Amino acid sequence: MTHTTTRRNVLRGSAATAAVLATAGAATAPASAAGPGSRRERGPRIGILLYDGFSLLDPTGPAEVLSRLPDATVTMIAEQRGPVRTDTGDVAVVAERSLTEVDRLDVLLVPGGGNRGIIAAMGNRALLEWIRKIHRRSQWTTSVCTGSLILAAAGLLDGRRATTYWASAEYLEETFDVTYEAQRYVRSGKIITAAGVSAGIDMALHLSALIAGEATARAVQLAVEYDPQPPFDSGNAAEADARLKKHALELLERSAV
């Protein structure tokens, strides 16, 4: 196993090794341990709201992207600290902070979820009140997928343009004073809503440019090697027939707990 002792750096872009090694000594402690005045304390504070039944990629795609911004902290937040389980019941992500522990964020992101999780979140007064409180002083308030329904339930989307999961567009427009736009992400003032699940990655890159400039956002895109090459072309609901839509919704329902 000589490879583990003779090579100290497995990431080496051509001509970049020296630069990387020069910055390696500046690595900081985890966010939860960052004390006042630490470097990370000065970067954007990004908070992601978790709730029982969220969809795994909705928070984790943007978290991967946004965590690469200089000095950023990404904190998973839920009603209580501890594991929060996804819509399939298979996976749990740890909430590092409870709602009562977080008064202010530069960026709030609300992920989407399945029917059960979304309906519960839309009816959770404590959750909606916390979202309104954070939104008052946030720099950006964002959502992915059906997370926009939660923002709408909190009253944040009144009179605004927004997007959501393709199968929830009708519900969004019928239920709230919102104009749906079939875009990958929609910015309205300081609110940015993204379309379904994987759209959070595109939105997070756009947001990265707003926060840290386009040069940094481009470097983040390369850092996560986001050069998408889907093997199929079936991800756009506007081009999908009824059979495919039905099949997709059946898979979602069947995988949900």
181 versus 226: smaller Cβ distance to its own copies: 226
User: Smallest distance from the beta carbon of 7 to its own copies, in angstroms?
Assistant: 6
Among 35, 37, 159, 232, binds its own copies (CB under 8 A): 232
Strands 82-85 and 92-95: antiparallel
DSSP the chain: -THHHH-S-S---TTTHHHHHHHHTT----GGGPPTT-GGGGS-EEEEE--TTB-THHHHHHHHHHTTSTT-EEEEEESSSEEEEBTTSS-EEEE-EEGGG----SEEEE--B-HHHHHHHHT-HHHHHHHHHHHHH-SEEEE-TTHHHHHHHTTTTTTEEE---GGGHHHHHHHSSEEE--SSEEEETTEEEE-STTHHHHHHHHHHHHHH-HHHHHHHHHHTT-----SSS---GGG--HHHHHHHHHHHHHH--
Should residue 11 be labelled a site residue for its own copies when binding is judged by CB under 8 A?
A: yes
Site for its own copies in 141-160 (CB under 8 A): 145-146, 149, 153
User: Smallest distance from the beta carbon of 148 to its own copies, in angstroms?
Assistant: 11
Site for its own copies in 63-102 (CB under 8 A): 63-64, 67-76, 83, 85-86, 88-94, 96
Stretch touching its own copies by CB under 8 A, among 99-107, 131-139, 204-212: 204-212
Should residue 205 be labelled a site residue for its own copies when binding is judged by CB under 8 A?
A: yes
Site for its own copies in 207-226 (CB under 8 A): 209, 214-226
Stretch touching its own copies by CB under 8 A, among 101-109, 129-137, 231-239: 231-239
Site for its own copies in 122-141 (CB under 8 A): 122-123
User: Smallest distance from the beta carbon of 146 to its own copies, in angstroms?
Assistant: 6
* Active site residues per annotation: 145
User: Smallest distance from the beta carbon of 220 to its own copies, in angstroms?
Assistant: 6
Should residue 42 be labelled a site residue for its own copies when binding is judged by CB under 8 A?
A: no
